[in-house]
Chains A and B, each alone.
Chain A
C-alpha cells in the first residue's frame, strides 16, 4: 500500500508538480534575494514600472490618449458617471475627488468594478478575434498580443491587467498550437512568473486580490452553481450571484485583514448591479473611441451610456445607506492562515487538475477580479 502510494506520488511529482516545485523555489529565492531578508521594508516599497523602456517610450502618447478620454467623459457625463466610466474602461482612478462616493463603493463591496480587470482584457481579445477572424495565424496572434499589451499599458499596467494579459496570451498561444492548458496551472504559473519578474508583486494588495479572486472563481464556481440556493435566484442574476459568492470565498479575508471591515451586503449588491457593468464598459468604451463624432450625436449616445452608469451609481448610493452595510472585523494572521488552509483543504481533489478552457474562465472572471487601489 505504502509502496503503491509512494509510486503514485513520485509519478505525480515528476509529471505535474516537480516543475511547479522548482518554480516555487526559484520564486522564493528571488523574493528573499530581492528583499535581502527584510520583508517588512520590502512590503512598503512602491510598485512602479517607470523604468521599463516600453513605458518610457510610449507613456507620453498614452497620457495624451488618457487626457482626451478624460476630457470627453467629463464633458458628456456628470460625476460619478464620468469617473465610473473612466475607471471601467481605461483604469483611470479619480475617486479621490469623490471621497463620499468611494466610501459608498467600499461599503457596498463594489470598488472592484471601477478598475480595469481581466474582463477588459478578455473583451479586447474577443474584439480582436472578431476583427481578425481567428488567431490561427502567427501574424494575427502577434497583432492580438500587441493590441492587448497596448491596452494593458493604456489602462495603467496594474497587476490584475498584467496577470490577465499573461493568462490570455498563454491561452491563445495554446489555442494556436492546438493545446488546452488547465486554468489553475495557467493562473499559478502567471502569478509565479510575475513575482519572478518583479518580487514586489507579492506584496501588492491589488495583485493579491486579483489572484485570489480568480483562484476562488476557478475553485468554487461549479460548487456554488450547484447549490440549491443558487437555483432559486432569478436566471438573470444567477451568473453574477455565483461569480460573486465564489470570488468572495478567498477575497473577503484579505479585505478584512487589510481594511479591518467587511461589507456584508456585498453579495446582494453585486448580484443586483453587476449586469450594468459589461453594458457600461462596452458602450462606454465605444463612446470614448467615437471622439470624432459631432457634439449633438455624442450627447445622444452619451445618454444611452449614462443610463447603466446612473443605475449603478444610484443603487450604490441607496444600498450604502443601509445601517448594517458593513461590520468591523479584522482577521488575525493565524485565523487568516487557518481559514485559507481549511477552505483549500476542503476543496483539494484530483479533479482540480482537470483540463479547463482558459478562455472560458477569462470570460467568467469578468468584473469579479477585485482590486482596491
Chain B
C-alpha cells in the first residue's frame, strides 16, 4: 500500500509537470491529429486558447486531447464542425461529453444521421443551459481569437439557403491568418466548391491572403475530387497535410493527387527565405497523418516548424 501511494504520488507529479510544460511557449500550433480515417485539427493560440475543428471518427481525438490536458481539465475555447459526416462529427460528440466548451460553431445543414441528431441535441442542451455559446450560422464571416483570424469563405449565405445534395460541399472552409502565417482548411469540400473559391481568389475577394500560403489541408482526405490544381498552385503552400487513415476502404489519398504533389515539389524556393526553423526542410512538403502520425506545425511570428 505504501509503495502504491509512492507510485501514485510520482504519477501525479509527472502529470503536473506535463501540465506545466503544456502551458509554456508563445507560439501558434496547428495539430492535424492522427485520428485514423477522418479529420480533426487542434489549433493552439499563443496564449493557449484551443480551437478544435472536427473530431474524426471514434474517440481517438479525445484520447489525443488528453495529452494536452494532463490533469483531466479539458477546456476547448472554440469547437467547430465543418460538416456532419461521421468521420468529422463522432469525435466531437465525445469531446462535448466531458470538455468545457465556450463556443460551438457550425452550420445547421439538413442531414439525417444518428450522430448528427446526437450532436444537435447535445449542442442545444449546452446552449440552453448557458454552458456554451452556440454560433449556429456562419457564412462569409470573420472570427477572431487571440490575434488569430479565421476568415470563413464557404459556405456563403446563398449556398446555405439550398439543401446540399452532397453534404461534403457544405464543409466550413476557412483561411487562418496570423501575421505572415496563413493556412487553408477546407473540410471535405469537393471540386465544385474549390473551383468557386479559386475564382473568388482570382477576383481578389480574399485580399487578406499573403502568397504563398504556409499550410494547406488537402480537402477530402486527399481524394481526387478534393483537389483543384489551379487553386493549390495559386496558394503555393509550404506544407500540405493530408488527414487520412491507414489502409482506408476509400483508397484515400488518390494516387493522382499524390503524383501531382510529387511533381510540384521544390518548384519555387522563394518561400524558404522565411523558413528559419530547424525543422522545415523544403518547399512543397507533403505530410500524411497515416504515415507521420499527428502533424504539428508551430509558428511564433518569426519562424515556424513542424514534426
A binds B: yes
Count residues of chain A with CB under 8 A from any CB of chain B. 28
Which residues in A have their C-beta under 8 angstroms from that of B59? 79-80, 83, 94, 97-98
Contact with B along A292-322 (1 / 0, CB 8 A): 0000000000110011101101000000000
B128 sits at the interface (CB 8 A):
no
Set of chain A residues within 8 Å of B137, measured between Cβ atoms:
none
Q: Is the interface of A mostly helix, strand, loop or mixed?
A: helix
Closest to B35 in A: A100
Question: Are B66 and A79 in touch, CB under 8 angstroms?
Answer: yes
B72 within 8 A of A: yes
| Residue A74 CB within 8 A of the other chain | yes
- Total interface residues in chain B, CB < 8 Å: 25
Q: Are A77 and B36 in contact (CB under 8 A)?
A: no
Closest residue on chain A to residue B245 by CB atoms: A99
B10 and chain A: residue at smallest CB distance: A311
Proximity bits, B59-93, A CB within 8 Å = 1, else 0:
11011011001111010000000000000001000
Q: How far is the CB of A95 from chain B (nearest CB, A)?
A: 9
Q: How far is the CB of B230 from chain A (nearest CB, A)?
A: 36
Residues of B within 8 A of A96 (CB): 58
Residue of A nearest to B97 (CB): A74
Which residue on A lies nearest to B99, using beta carbons? A78
Checking A82, A100, A308, A311 against B60 with a beta-carbon cut-off of 8 angstroms, the contacting residue is: A100
State A77–B94 Cα separation when bound (angstroms): 10
Q: Chain A residues near B196 (CB, 8 Å)?
A: none
Does A78 contact B98, Cβ atoms closer than 8 Å?
Answer: yes
Q: Is the CB of B63 within 8 A of A306?
A: no
Cβ of A275 within 8 Å of any chain B Cβ, yes or no, is yes
- In this complex, the member of A75, A79, A275 whose beta carbon has the largest number of chain B beta carbons within 10 angstroms is A79
A177 at the interface (CB under 8 A from B): no
Bound CA span A94–B62, Å: 14
A98/B72 in contact, CB under 8 A: no
Docked CA distance A303–B19 (Å):
14
- Residues of A with C-beta under 8 A to B62: 78-79
In the complex, are the beta carbons of B58 and A302 less than 8 A apart? no
Is B12 in contact with chain A by the CB < 8 A criterion? yes
With A78-B65, A81-B66, A101-B63 known as contacts, the answer to whether A310 contacts B15 (CB < 8 A) is yes
Contacts A75-B98, A78-B98, A100-B36; A307 near B63 (Cβ below 8 A):
no
- 7 A-B Cβ contacts within 8 A? A81-B72, A98-B60, A98-B63, A236-B7, A279-B8, A302-B72, A307-B12
- Beyond A78-B69, A81-B66, 19 additional contacts (C-beta under 8 Å) are A74-B98, A76-B98, A77-B72, A79-B60, A79-B62, A79-B66, A80-B63, A83-B59, A94-B59, A96-B58, A97-B60, A97-B90, A98-B59, A98-B63, A236-B3, A236-B4, A279-B4, A303-B71, A310-B70
A interface, CB within 8 angstroms of B = 74-83, 94, 96-101, 236, 275, 279, 302-303, 306-308, 310-311, 313
